[in-house]
Structures are given as C-alpha cells and as structure tokens.
Structure 1
Amino acid sequence: MSVARAEADGGRDSWSEAESAVLAEAVHCAPSVHNTRPWELAIHGRTAELRERTVLAAQHDPEGRDRRISLGAALANLVLAIRGLGWAAEAATRLAGDLVTATATGTHRSRPADAENRRRRALTDRRSHRHAFDRRELPEGTRDVLLEALAAPGVTGRWIAGADEALAVARLLDYAARVFRGDAEYQRELALWITPRGRGVRPEAFGTGGLAAVGLTTSRTRLPDESLLAARIQREAVLVVATSADTPQDHVRAGAAMEQAWLEAASRNLAASVMTQPLHLEEVRTGLAQHLGLTAVPQVLMRFGLPVEAEVGDR
C-alpha cells in the first residue's frame, strides 16, 4: 500500500519506513463502505494523516455518513498500530469544507495496555459475518465488555432488549428496506458496485434472511416478515451505536468506537457485522431514538454472536 511521506521528514523524529509500513497495513485492514477505503494516508514526522475522499455517488451515501464512519474505523486501527509501536497516540479531527481530515500522532514512549494489544492482534481476524449466528447466547459478561470497548467521548451504546423493542426496530428496518428496494436510482447505482472481489460489494454481502436481508437491499431481496425479523433481533445481540450530535466529526467518532468494539469481539472469537444503510433515512434514525428512549443520534447497528464454524465472512 502506498503512503505519501513528506520529503523534509526524516531522522529520529519521524516514523521509519518499517514503522510506516505497519501503520499503512493497519489502516488497510479497516472496514469500509463497499470496500472503497475512502481515505488517503500521508505521514509527516510522527503524525499519520487520513484525508477523507469521495468515492460513492449521491444515491448511496448522500451525506457522506458511511465514508466518515469508515474513516473513523481506519483512525481506530491507526491509533492501535501506533500504540503497538510503543508510543502514546493523540488523535484529532478537523473539517475543511465538506471533508474531514483525521490525524494520529505519536507523542511519547508508552507501553500499550493488554486490551490494546489484544485488539491490535485481531486486526487481520476481523470479518463481516452476514450469516445467521450459532443459537448459543454470548458468554456471560460479554455485552458489558463490548460496551466498555465502545466507550468514547460523545459516543454511547445501547443494546436492543425485549420483544417490544425488537418489533419496533424490525418495523423500522423493514420500512427502510422497502424504501431502498423501490428506489430505481439507488438500485442502478448499487448494481454498479457489485463485484466478486476487490473494491465494491461482494454478492455474499446481500443476506437472504434475518437482519442481513434488510441491511443492504437489492430489488430482488425477499424481505422477511416483521415478526420473524423481530424474533431474529431478539435471538441476536444487536447494539445501537449513537453519538451526542450529528456532525461529520461525530460520524468519525462513531466509526472509531464501532471498530474498537468489533476488534474486541474478534479478539474473543465472536462474529459481528454492521448495518448503516437504514440509518441514512432521517425518519429511521428519529424513530429508533424515540422507541429506544435515546437522546443521542443512532449512527450504526452492530450484531454480535457466536459463528457457525463452517461459515466465513468477508472483510
């Protein structure tokens, strides 16, 4: 992976070529919308910079939410890589026009915590698991651990609990799926991104049942019955990632927190996947907040479970 480096940098106050390669690999492992990696990585001294770049047409990501959530995930990986090199990492974001630039700077020598080492080792193990999970429940205490991993300033997590909440969420997701399935422009744009490998949407990303069927919907998707979808939500561990506001920087924060929880799950041999598309609709975000009693803005839905051994997810 190519990395831009400032020619004036060098010497003891800069990341070495080998260290830069470690940072670049960590960023490369981050999940991103349609596998597009909507960022550019540049390294200056001991600062690594991620610049948001536009890659998708307006129908799929009209406000750039997915793009910036992806950037946040890459920033989380970058910080973990810096910690793995034995440095404290200071992260920051700034907005220039409509685009975000995120930076992570190694400030001084500092040993990483055990949790940071565990999540960093899971960078290459994290996958999107869009199949059904094993029917066993998560090990005791796991939900609390995942919430702790998610914790960050301006970010909160909320598990969906009980039949009433599951049915309310199922109805919102069904509504969003029908909106996108009936949007001809959206469907034409989505079809252009379907590809068997590399950048783009892999065919297996389109689930055939449960939450996977409503997370990313084509014109041919058979939507599950609301009651069946609600039952699936109750069986799975579904987490809402929300932010205190709804600015571009908040989208980045949500992505970084999402990735920390995802890597924590991967480090514990749990499966997970995320959904953002339904939350592009303001009425779905608002409805979800109302039904769950949230004062924050929902940004991401995450589902966690125990994998069925024969099934392998994509990145």
Structure 2
Amino acid sequence: MITRSPKQALDAAVDAGRWAPSVHNTQPWTFNVSGEEIGLRADTERKLAVEDASGRELLISCGAALFTMRTAIRCEGYEPIVRILPDPDRPGLLATIRLGNETEADEATWVLGGEIERRRTHRAGFADVPVPDQLIESLVKAAMSEGAKLTPIRSAEAVNVLAALTQAAQGVQTQDQRFNLEVIRWARPPGSARTDGVPAGSYPQEPAPTEPDFPQRHYAWRHGWGALGEQNEAAIGVVAVLTTRGDSRDEWIAAGQALQHVLLYASAHGVSAAFHTQALEMDLLREFLRTELFSGEYPQMIMRLGVTFDDKDMPRRPLSEVLE
C-alpha cells in the first residue's frame, strides 16, 4: 500500500475536484484547506439565476465535485470522513472532508480515479454501438450506493414522453430572452482563452437529430459556432433518469455524488453521457414527471448514455481561482 502525506492527499483531492461535471461547465465551487480538512463551498456568483433559481443544479454540480474528491482521497491512501451541510449558519458550506484512517484503495476505486480527468460530457448523438445491459445494471448499483436511483427507460412510450417534454421545454426557453442570454453567457466563442463555459468546438455545428429527438442547448444561438464532422452520430443511446426520494439540499448533493459515480464508472467502460435538464427546469413539467413516470420520486437528471468517438478537451479553472 502506498500512502502519501496528508498534505499531498488533500492537494490531490482539491485538484481532482476541479474536474467534476457542472451545468454549462460553470464550475460553481470553491475549496478551502484548513489543517487536514477540505471545505467545499458553493460559488453563488456562478449560479444560473434564471435556469436554476432554486440552486438545485448548482448543488448537484458541487455534489459531483464532492464524490470526485472522496475518490481521490481513497486513491491517495486515506478513508474520507465527510460531513454534509455541517453548519446551518453557513449555508454556502456544503461539505467538509477530513482524512480518516489509512486504507488501501480497491481496484474499483482505482478505476474510478483513473477516469476523473478523462471523463467528458457529450452534446450530440452517439455512435450506433450498443451499451451492454450488464453495464447499465452496474450503473444502477453505483447510483444506489450514493443514495439515489438511476432508472433506465426501457419503454419506447416513456422515452417518447421524455423527448417530447424536452422539446417543449427547449421551445419555451428559446422564446425567453432571459434563458438565451444566460446560456450565451456560458458559451465560449472560437479561440476563447476562458477556462470555464462550453467551448465552441464541443458540440456539432449541425447536429443530427436522434429518434426521438432530444434537443441540446442553443450555445451557438445566432452565431453559427460548433464543430464539423459529428453529424453522422445520431443514435439515441440508453435514456436514463436519476431520481431521489426527497428534494432537499442534502438530496441534491447526494444526486450529484451519485451522478459522478455513474459517470466515472461509465467512462471506464467507454460510455459517455449527454444531459437534458430543460424539462427539469420548469416546475410544472418536473412535477408531471415526478407523479406520472417516477412514482413520486424527484427527477434530478435526464441523460442519454452511449458510445462516442468524440474526445474533446474541456477547460478547467486553475487552482488559483478555486482554492481559497
């Protein structure tokens, strides 16, 4: 067993946390290291005021960063001790992570850790390559281990409903200038040196619609940005929805941890995810999904899982910007 010093382990965890997925790649987190403890805080200046007024997506993003740091600490040879929302007087402090006993990471943890910087979000259709049922079952177990539920949508009728609601929400949001301006704020023009947001080359200029169609965000609204060459990838992949029993702040954080566990495991097996949160950003549609499709559980993320041969880099803010 190789155990690094406490400082090395904490530094590695913070560095890893930067690579978590976040809505529009906003990276809405900051980290503070005090002694042998990391504090994870929400960067509310990066909250989406229109799209995410409740802060749900922000906390899911931060929950993903928390799972990433837990994984990194185990790979460094320590058991992480986590407290969620430890101080009611400091609502922006989402979690603390302390170093526990020295431990030897198992093979599964090493596999997850190896995907932290390799995992990528996809923003188009997938290649016509099937996702094995056994892998989907493992992803369901991964989500369950973090206190959430991942449901693969096997019914064609239910997939059609999710696609139709995504299309409807996208259509409504496209007509709302506030939504458009907020999305554009996080869209990076070609050649931009920004270390956050969605690069112009990370989505196709003319995406081929899936069947049924799950539309992506209009990051290139009125600009014509986007990459060429991915139009032929149009398979829908496996549609899946992440839910929780409740809808509190700690359950949003749990959903983020479950999401990242799923994504890292999928990435290790050559599978990527495309996210579709439009319908979940409209209260009426989200409530409809909760009551009609998910037996009262709260939908936290709609995604498609599939194989893509696209492997573009995604920028990350340097440590100097996220470490307090």
Per the normalisation by structure 1, the TM-score is 0.83
Partner of 2:287: 286
**Superposed, which structure 2 residues align to 1:74-113 within 5 Å?**
74-94=65-85, 95-96=88-89, 98-113=91-106
Structure 1: 4+ residue segments shifted above 4 A: 95-98, 204-207, 218-221
**Superposed, which structure 2 residues align to 1:230-309 within 5 Å?**
235-307=236-308, 309=309
Structure 1 stretches lacking a partner, 5+ long: 1-13, 222-231
Shift, 1:98, TM fit = 4.9
Q: For 2:251 and 2:54, how far apart are their aligned partners in 1?
A: 13
Partner of 2:231: none
**Kept in 2: contact 1:72–1:253 (CA 8 A):** yes
**Kept in 1: contact 2:183–2:218 (CA 8 A):** no
- Does 241-250 or 18-27 show the bigger shift? 18-27
| CA deviation map 1:93-150 (0-9, x unaligned) | 1154653421222211121222111000111110012232121211241110111111
Partner of 1:228: none
- CA distance change for structure 1 residues 292 and 77 in 2, over 3 Å: closer, same or farther? same
Shift, 1:151, TM fit = 1.6
Matched, 1:43 2:69: no
| CA deviation map 1:8-48 (0-9, x unaligned) | xxxxxx822x3332112211111122322211111223221
Matched, 1:114 2:107: yes
Matched, 1:312 2:302: no
Higher helix share: 1
Structure 2 stretches lacking a partner, 5+ long: 224-233, 315-324
Partner of 1:229: none
Partner of 1:59: 50
- CA distance change for structure 1 residues 19 and 148 in 2, over 3 Å: closer, same or farther? same
**Kept in 2: contact 1:243–1:296 (CA 8 A):** yes
**Kept in 2: contact 1:240–1:302 (CA 8 A):** yes
Paired amino acid for 1:203:
A
Residue in structure 1 matching 2:140, options 138, 147, 155: 147
- CA distance change for structure 1 residues 236 and 96 in 2, over 3 Å: closer, same or farther? farther
Any idea what SS the aligned residue of 1:151 has? helix
**Kept in 1: contact 2:147–2:258 (CA 8 A):** no
Partner of 1:173: 166
Partner of 2:23: 33
Q: For 2:173 and 2:295, how far apart are their aligned partners in 1?
A: 25
Percent of pairs identical after alignment? Answer: 27
Shift, 1:56, TM fit = 3.2
- CA-atom RMSD in angstroms: 2.5
**Kept in 2: contact 1:88–1:106 (CA 8 A):** yes
